[in-house]
Chains A and B, each alone.
Chain A
Amino acid sequence: AQRVTQPEKLLSVFKGAPVELKCNYSYSGSPELFWYVQYSRQRLQLLLRHISRESIKGFTADLNKGETSFHLKKPFAQEEDSAMYYCALSAGGYNKLIFGAGTRLAVHP
């Protein structure tokens, strides 16, 4: 079965601390994985996708097929990073997205 698991509902850190938002997936094929972010009162937007292998706003994520994980990391959290983060898996060959339940990141001053 295709599934995305984000084990933490809430991650609370202080400004400047490292951040790791966990994401594990279950998919029999070759996965395409994404991180979406939703800031307060804004719409859901793409943060990054694994095939791009880029860093956006200081965030990176590496696909680990052995551990079936796609954790999102940032070395130094900023207050403006506070938001809801969703990990998603593309399945079915046409971008049908399967989302995790989301992790709320709260960065305190």
Chain B
Amino acid sequence: NAGVMQNPRHLVRRRGQEARLRCSPMKGHSHVYWYRQLPEEGLKFMVYLQKENIIDESGMPKERFSAEFPKEGPSILRIQQVVRGDSAAYFCASSPSRSGDTQYFGPGTRLTVL
């Protein structure tokens, strides 16, 4: 099992462009979580998804950010019209079920907005 995969590992965008971050959960995992880590801070929860459903997006900014986890393929975190404040490390985690299970983290995507 290759573990949680995220790509790209590093992403550079200019202000106003779109950023698309991908997360492939571990095999057999149907629950995906996205977290954001700003410099000098801990990870902050953004969104929790199951296949084809957003369960909790309470940590995600209302504008410009969206997430999906389609039936086939990876989960995508999309940031439209990026601004410098979006520069951060974005981590994805997966677990096999809803509660009581360990979350396994990916290596993260470091987004830099110029």
Say yes or no for A109: interface residue by CB 8 A criterion.
no
Asked whether A61 is an interface residue with its Cβ less than 8 Å from the other chain, the reply is no
Partner of B103, one of A97, A101, A102: A97
Q: Known: A94-B99, A96-B33. Contact between A44 and B44, CB under 8 A?
A: no
Asked if A86 is at the interface (CB within 8 A of a chain B CB), the reply is yes
Known: A94-B56, A95-B33, A98-B45. A43 touches B105 (CB 8 A): yes
CB atoms of B45 and A97 under 8 A apart: yes
Quick one: which of B66-114 are within 8 Å of A by CB? Answer: 91, 93, 95, 98-108
Contacts of B48 in A (CB 8 A): 94, 96
A25 at the interface (CB under 8 A from B): no
Query: Nearest Cβ in chain B — how far from A81, in angstroms?
Result: 19
How many interface residues does A have (CB within 8 Å)?
20
| Residues 83-104 of chain A, each 1 if its beta carbon lies under 8 Å from chain B, else 0 | 0001000001111111111100
In the complex, what residues of B have CB within 8 A of residue A102's CB? 42
A6 CA to B40 CA in the complex, in Å?
A: 12
Q: Nearest Cβ distance between residue B41 and chain A, in whole angstroms?
A: 6
Contacting residues, chain B, for A99 (C-beta < 8 A): 35, 42-44
Q: A99-B44, A101-B41 are in contact. Are A94 and B106 (CB under 8 A)?
A: no
Chain B residues at the A interface, C-beta cutoff of 8 Å: 3-4, 31, 33, 35, 40-45, 48, 55-56, 91, 93, 95, 98-108
Closest 5 CB pairs of A and B: A99-B42, A44-B105, A99-B43, A101-B42, A43-B107
